[in-house]
Structure 1
Amino acid sequence: MNYDTPLIDRDSAGAGHAAHGRETVVSETHIIDEDDEFQRARRRKQIMIGGGIVAAIILAIILFMVFGKGDGAAEDGANAAQVPLVSVIVPGSESVSSGITASGTFAARNPLPVGSVGEGGQVVSVRVDEGDWVSQGQVLAVIDRSVQTQQAAAQAAQVQVARADANLAQANLDRALQLVDRGFISKADVDRLRSTRDAAAARVRVAEASLRELNARNARLNILAPAGGLVLTRDVEVGQVVSGGSQPLFVIAKGGEMELAALVGESDLARLTVGAPAAVRPVGTDREFTGQVWQLSPTIDETSRQGEARVALAYDRALRPGGFATATIGTGGVNAPVLPESAIQNDAKGSYVFIIDKDNKVRRRAVKTGIVTDAGITVAEGLTGNERVVLRAGGFLFEGDTVKPQLTNRAN
């Protein structure tokens, strides 16, 4: 319901109000319009506030997403910075020649002791000395033979007498044979003459045999080299009286060949074979001599648990019997991964290495080591050679650690 209220001119009212301080009166309709406008403004404000809140929420979400990811990346970067960098190698498989190191002393491979084989006597001449090279049949020393020479001369005369008797007996038989047909000599006489001739011929042979025996005995008074080689020792002087069967007067290394009697442990001896190559280095020299095993000891010393591997060596004046030397004897070759010593760890469970799997995790791998060479240590069991093996610093790693592998070569 509308109630009409008298309207007052705004100008006059304003004037009147200003002039007289009277209160301005408005219509009820005008008040209602102002309330509607207020409500609309209020709603607009509420909408603006709600939109601001929503915008703030969206902005917060965006900021969280942006700055939250940044913090995660930083954390990931920090974690990545803490992952250790380790050097690894892929060893592959190499052909490695194995060998056994042993030591021993030099000796003649075939020593020939030489002494007097005759009846002996006084030595009148020594024609060789230690270190001389001799040939087969060469005279080493001469023993006085003055008495034996006279005996041989007497026997030679006996041979001549026997031959003369034999010639006479043959002539008598020839004449008898010419007269037997005429009947001047009987057949019995011829038989006797023939027997005399045969006996005389036999005496000649006996005399000649005796002469050859004396000559042979006299020849044995000279001490001869039974084979060519190097004179190692001389134990006789001029004027010395020697007898047959006495101690050796000379020792000769046949052909000058030497050998190293290397002492080898029981287990290593089982790995060697006759004909195996060996590199021998005498003490006090940088020279290296090549030989080969020609004999392995059939027995093992019960105390030392060692046996001998005898290495044959060609003649060289630097190889002196009794000298000490070391030898590296080959036992064949193997194909196996080779690792530097720093890559192999040991504990109560045995030898092991750390490998890096496809996820860059540290894994322990038990291994069995083999031959030790200048290049490193061979791995007989446990590796194929295609693994990434931690090169060093394995003592600071643990099973399951995450690392950053850096492939390197063995030289580094």
Structure 2
Amino acid sequence: MNLESATWRRSAIETEVLDEETLARRRRRRTIIIGVVVALIAIGIAFFMLTGPAEEVPAPAGQGAASLPAVTVVVPGKQQVSRSISATGTLAARRDMPVGVAGEGGMIARVLVEPGQWVDNGQTLAVIERSVQSQEVQQLAANVEVARADARLAQQELDRAQALVGRGFISKADVERRIATRDAANARVRVAQAQLGAARARVGRLDIRAPAAGLVLDRNVEAGQVVGAGSGALFRIAQGGQMELLARLAESDLEQVKVGMTASVTPVGSSKSFTGQIWQVSPVIDPQSRQGEARIALSYDSALRPGGFASATINVGTIDAPLLPQSAVQSDDRGNYVYIIDGNNAVVRRDVKVGEVSDQGVAIASGLSGNERVVQSAGAFLSPGQKVRPVRAASR
């Protein structure tokens, strides 16, 4: 009998020892339960701290105020808030001047400038080979001398004829013919001079010159290259080195931007900002993107590279608006909103339009007068129509 009892106890012990998986599951379940309890306690403590005790607003008579959840509220009033609009865009030369071949073209003999160089108005950028044109100029110059010699001879013959006409040796008709000959010779001189001038002008146009002083942005030609009127731009010059930001703005923001407003421009990858001024606002809106363009003029700086990307903050003035902490403003698929507490201490949703967002808070452009009791935080735990115990936030 005792032997059987001992055998049974030994079997029970072995069964318990062997079932380790069951014991592990029990331990994991116990750990999870403890973790959930701790998390619930932490959430309760956080909620209590967010809606912590402050100056209480008395609840209407007849309600169990002590049993209602306490909610911290603020009455923002109105204050002056700086308004600014953020935009992004591409840097470019304010006046980007493409320079091409003005004459008949030819083979490039020399290129005299490189990108990044400053040039003066009329400075030669490249020279086209001109040996044939030089010979034509010399030929036309010789034609001018021949025409002048003919004109001198015609004048001398006219002078002799006029001296003899009084003696009756030459008729007046002969004198008139010599006058016509003299005038024709002078006209040929003028024609030859005009042809020479045109040839010299064509030779002069073989020098590719800067149309204005500025910064060379691009060079698209090399010595030995044959160029002509259809070769396109051989050089690009930023007039005066002036730059600009082509800022893209939403249609609603573009309405607030005016010529003369200042802006702070920061190129991507740079910590340095540059002060500019809006000098032109686009009169049209892109029908695809619903955006317009504001052009911000900038003085030259080596950090401003055309084609680069930059951001801009445009100062559009100040407004009187309620200023709320960021924790008071919420958003969903319907837009931005806040919760306010009405006269019956009930939660009411109020849709708002958000203005400037800064370290001081969120400016409310529309939707609030500033006299409402706005839930400062914990709005995610509330629902419209819920009764609460409003607690005025302590003044800072």
TM-score grouping bracket, smaller chain normalisation: 0.7 to 0.9
1:105 to 85, 90, 96: 90
Match of 2:394 in 1: 407
Residue identity opposite 2:145 in structure 1: Q
Q: Is the contact between residue 276 and residue 331 of structure 1 (CA under 8 Å) also seen in structure 2?
A: yes
In structure 1, the residue matched to 2:356 is 372
Q: Which has the larger radius of gyration?
A: 1
Q: Structure 1 stretch 377-386 or stretch 182-191: which is displaced more?
A: 377-386
2:246 matched to 1:261? yes
Q: Distance in 2 between matches of 1:191 and 1:132?
A: 64
Moved more, 143-152 or 260-269: 260-269
Q: Which amino acid in structure 1 is aligned with residue 273 of structure 2?
A: E
- Match of 2:389, SS? coil
- Alignment root-mean-square deviation, CA: 2.9
What is the deviation of 1:321?
1.5
Shift of the 297–233 alpha-carbon distance from structure 1 to 2, 3 Å rule, reads farther
Q: Corresponding residue for 2:218?
A: 233
Match of 2:127 among 142, 146, 153: 142
Paired position in structure 2 for 1:294? 280
Moved more, 128-137 or 371-380: 371-380
**Structure 2: which amino acid aligns with 1:116?**
V
Tell me the CA shift for residue 401 of structure 1: 3.2
| Structure 2 match to 1:383 | 368
Letter in 1 for 2:148: R
Q: Distance in 1 between matches of 2:330 and 2:107?
A: 74
Letter of the 1:239 counterpart: G
Aligned CA distance change for structure 1 residues 113 and 403 (closer, same or farther; 3 Å): closer
Is the CA contact 1:356–1:405 (under 8 Å) kept in the aligned structure 2? no
Q: CA deviation at 1:103?
A: 1.9
Task: Measure, in 1, the Cα distance between the counterparts of 2:112 and 2:213.
Answer: 15
Question: Which of 335, 339, 354 is equivalent to 2:324?
Answer: 339
Matched with 1:94 is 79
Paired position in structure 2 for 1:211: 196
Deviation at 1:150, TM superposition (A): 1.6
Matches of 1:340 and 1:87 in 2, distance apart?
12
Q: Normalising by the residue count of structure 2, what TM-score does the alignment of the two structures yield? A: 0.73
Q: In the comparison of the two structures, how many residue pairs are matched?
A: 328
Contact 1:274/1:296 (8 A) holds in 2: no
Q: Deviations over 1:308-345 (max 9, x none)?
A: 33333222221111111112234443211111111234
Q: Structure 1's 113 and 406: CA in aligned 2 closer, same or farther, altered over 3 A?
A: closer
Give the TM-score, by structure 1 length. Answer: 0.71
Residue 283 of structure 2 is aligned to residue 315 of structure 1: no
| 1:373 aligned counterpart, secondary structure | strand
- 200-209 or 157-166, which deviates more: 157-166
Query: Gaps (5+ residues) in structure 2?
Result: 1-63
- In the alignment, the residues of structure 2 paired with residue 246 and residue 347 of structure 1 have an alpha-carbon distance, to the nearest angstrom, of 57
Q: Distance in 2 between matches of 1:92 and 1:166?
A: 96
Of 107-116 and 307-316, more deviation after overlay is shown by 307-316
Query: In the TM superposition, what whole-angstrom CA distance separates every residue of 1:257-288 from its partner, at most 9, and x where no partner exists?
Result: 22323333344344444444332211000111
CA distance in 1, matches of 2:366, 2:139: 85
Q: State the distance in 1 between where 2:353 and 2:250 align.
A: 19
User: Which stretch has the larger CA shift, 254-263 or 178-187?
Assistant: 254-263
Q: Structure 1 residue 82: deviation in Å?
A: 8.1
Structure 1 395/234 Cα, relative in aligned 2: closer, same or farther at 3 Å?
A: closer
Q: Deviations over 1:17-61 (max 9, x none)?
A: xxxxxxxxxxxxxxxxxxxxxxxxxxxxxxxxxxxxxxxxxxxxx
How much has 1:173 moved relative to structure 2? 1.3
CA distance in 2: counterparts of 1:159 and 1:348, whole angstroms: 86
- The answer to whether the 8 Å contact 1:229/1:255 transfers is yes
**Superposed CA offset, 1:363-390 (max 9, x none):** 6462513213212211233433345544
* Percent pairwise identity: 53
1:211-269 CA deviation, whole Å, 9 max, x = no partner? 10010000000001112221111011122222233221111122222232333334434
Contact 1:148–1:214 under 8 Å retained in 2: yes
